[in-house]
Amino acid sequence: MSTIPKDPLLAIAKIMVVIAQFLAIFAIVMLGIGIGALLSVGRADLMAEIAAAEVPMISFWFIILAMVTGMGLMFLGYRFFGELLGIINSVGEGDPFRPENADRLSRMGWITVIVQAMILPVAGLAMWLAPYADKVDKKIQFDGGLDGGGILLTLILFILARVFREGTRMREELEGTV
């Protein structure tokens, strides 16, 4: 692992990406603890609230599933930032047009596709639970679903991956002719 780059912009980006990875790990651990608590000591309280709101009992398992999905999303975020960190490191080393950076950008694009696909069922679940939550004075505000910014990010990542592949090819071709 390389040290913090001398370029202040790259140094700040690297620090922010490492913090984001740490926060993703922290969120995974906290969601895991929350799932454990709901499956053991908190189960009776949650089941009582579900019964009071006249929500179908299967919603307990939907809540657990939503939390597991959250853990999966945080893991994907961790992976996304790991790929970005690899790109930042290669830029800091002075050689960003590498085949592995094109691969990293492609993987980042696929991660964003998977995230968008995972959010849709959670958004549906949140919309289904929202009226019941109002009955027990709990507010569910979920701004999920297809995100135009996420779709745009996906397209940009796949296009940048092609740009990096082409840049790498052109550099290798130029070096071969000199």
Distance from C-alpha of 67 to C-alpha of 65, rounded to nearest angstrom: 5
- Between 50 and 11, the higher pLDDT residue: 11
Place of tokens 């968008």: 116
User: Measuring CA to CA, how many Å separate 40 from each of 11, 34, 36, 72?
Assistant: 44, 10, 6, 21
Distance from C-alpha of 98 to C-alpha of 166, rounded to nearest angstrom: 10
Calculate mean pLDDT across residues 9-37: 96
Distance from C-alpha of 142 to C-alpha of 69, rounded to nearest angstrom: 14
For the chain, the maximum distance between any two Cα atoms, rounded to a whole number of angstroms, is 77
- What amino acid occupies position 8? P
Q: pLDDT tens across 57-113, in order? A: 888 888 889 899 999 999 999 999 999 999 999 999 888 888 999 999 999 999 999
Place of tokens 């690297």: 14
Average pLDDT score, the chain: 87
User: Measuring CA to CA, how many Å separate 125 from each of 50, 83, 96, 115, 121?
Assistant: 15, 30, 42, 16, 6
Q: Which of 90, 101, 75 is nearest to 21 (CA)?
A: 75
pTM above 0.85, yes or no: no
Q: pLDDT tens across 8-19, in order? A: 999 999 999 999
- What amino acid occupies position 22? F
Which structure tokens are listed for 164? 């990096």
- Torsion-angle region of 145 (φ positive above 0: left; ψ -120 to 50: alpha; else: beta): left
Distance from C-alpha of 15 to C-alpha of 88, rounded to nearest angstrom: 11
Q: How many CB atoms sit inside 10 A of residue 83's CB?
A: 21
